Amino acid sequence: MEVNCLKEKLQKFNQDHLLQFWDEISDQEKSALFKDILELDLPEVTSYFSKAMNFLNANTEILDSKIQPIPGDVFESLCTSTPAKLDQYELRGLKEISEGRVAVLLMAGGQGTRLGVNYPKGMYDVGLPSHSTLFHLQALRIRRLQELAEEKFKKWGQIAWYIMTSEATHDTTLTYFEKNDYFGLKKENLKAFKQEMLPCFTFDGKIILDEKNRISKAPDGNGGLYRALKSRGILEDMLTRGINSVHVFSVDNILVKVADPVFIGFCLSRSADCAVKVVPKRSPTEAVGVVCQVEGKYRVVEYSEITLKTAELRNKDGELTFNAGNICNHYFTLDFLFSIGNAHESDLDLHVAKKKVPYINEYGKKIIPTSPNGIKVEKFVFDVFKFAKNFAAWETIRECEFSALKNSDIAGFDCPSTVRKDLLSLQKKWLLDAGALSVNGDVEISPLLSYAGENLKEMANGKNLQGPVVLASHL
């Protein structure tokens, strides 16, 4: 395609400014820009901008009159379930694992920018005695679960691990796992795949130039998962492996129960095609989305979409009415994921994120803005809830399963020091429950020794444990 033809095509979509520096760049740079533009599906990406802005304008209303809590018939809580029922769920989940029907899907496209590093967040060392990273901890939890399932059912089932990366994190992530020999997992059971990229826009819908010869792009949000699963061949790979249950979560949760057999067993017992794990909100004003119903459809409502009066509503037992805090922890069947990829992905909501996007101004100078000047269009992973035929929600305990790593220690919350403290506090509880007389200092338990507090009595009972130490095998 000649440049004049390309310009005509761009003009149809009001994007011909992308060629404004054509006469100033080298032949190599022209080739790069040409390729960048040709890779764009202009009708689609420009419609994304319009659709996202329309969704933003249509969803400025307060939802107080339309919102309803999760119905009791699709909701269960770990806190109110009997030990017998929890054991039943766990056994069912472990059986699914032993049969090789479980996959873990980790959303790990983000860099640790807010942590002050320029590498994938999953590689961050939070300062544990073992110096384990988030990736390392999750890998060891997978290994331990495979062992637990084999112990129960005398059958070895592999847990397939899929990691959604981005352009910024893909190669670094793969190199990290290769250098660490996949932390003892089989290489063929780990597959990394990139999420899609979308161009960044000005507030009036013009695609932004990052350089004279390069379009500014950003990952399409964690909801880009569904398109990537189909376009990268991951759904077909799951089908070939005989996967049924897929546990999806974000990389930043240090306490995540990877492929949680209790959660999986709960979902299987209800024949759920789509399910969510939630924690009770700390307060009415906690800045977290809540899982609920809006006009009969399941969705996540952000705290800014309801009034304080509605957020403060309480039930007769004193619990908040809208209490199901979203922690980005989901269960999907493979059939459900195929249905999204084949029938519903194009119907996902598109969200507007106003960001500070570096750009080339009309004089060809690179500008680093100090205030939001552009729009990134994003999809959210939970926007598929409305397509579920059999939705379910499982409430768990925050202190046992959710502590997010998002900020540097300067913030004082959701940071390395808080997630480290939360993990060590949980493991201290496990040891005391197993009969330890005292636990002092940083006493860390390797996931290979214990996935969720099991297998510790011989090591802990009647003993005084002193850190810093990593408990990795029986003394």
What are the pLDDT digits (tens) for 423-439?
Answer: 999 999 999 999 999 99
Answer yes or no: is pLDDT of 160 > 50. Answer: yes
Mean pLDDT of the chain: 95
For 271-286, write each residue's pLDDT tens digit. Answer: 999 999 999 999 999 9
Helix, strand or coil, per DSSP, at residue 105 = strand
**What burial letters (b/e) apply to 235-269, b meaning 16+ CB within 10 Å?**
bebbeeeebbbbbbbbbbbbbbbbbbbbbbbbbbe
Q: Where are the alpha helices (DSSP H) in 78-232?
A: 83-98, 134-153, 170-179, 225-231
Residue 295 burial by Cβ neighbours in a 10 Å radius (0-12, 13-18, 19+): exposed
Q: Tell me what pLDDT residue 475 has.
A: 39
- DSSP code of residue 320: B
Give CA–CA dist 73/393, Å, rounded. Answer: 10
**Residue 420: what residue type?**
R
pLDDT digits (tens, 9 = 90+) for 284-297: 999 899 999 999 99
Pairing between β-strand 274-280 and β-strand 391-395 as defined by DSSP bridges: parallel
Q: Domains plus CATH for the chain?
A: 63-406 (3.90.550.10), 415-475 (2.10.10)
- DSSP assignment, residue 286? -
Q: What is the pLDDT of residues 244-256, one digit of tens each?
A: 999 999 999 999 9
- Cα–Cα distances (Å) from 261 to 8, 112, 268, 321, 389, in that order, read 56, 30, 10, 28, 22
The predicted structure's pLDDT at residue 1: 52
Q: Are 221 and 107 in contact (CB under 8 A)?
A: no
- CA pair distance 169, 149, nearest whole angstrom: 32
Q: Give the pairing of strands 324-333 and 245-250.
A: antiparallel
Is residue 236 pLDDT above 80, yes or no? Answer: yes
**How many CB atoms neighbour CB 190 within 10 A?**
19
Q: What pTM, to 2 d.p., does this model score?
A: 0.94
Average pLDDT over every residue of 207-214: 96
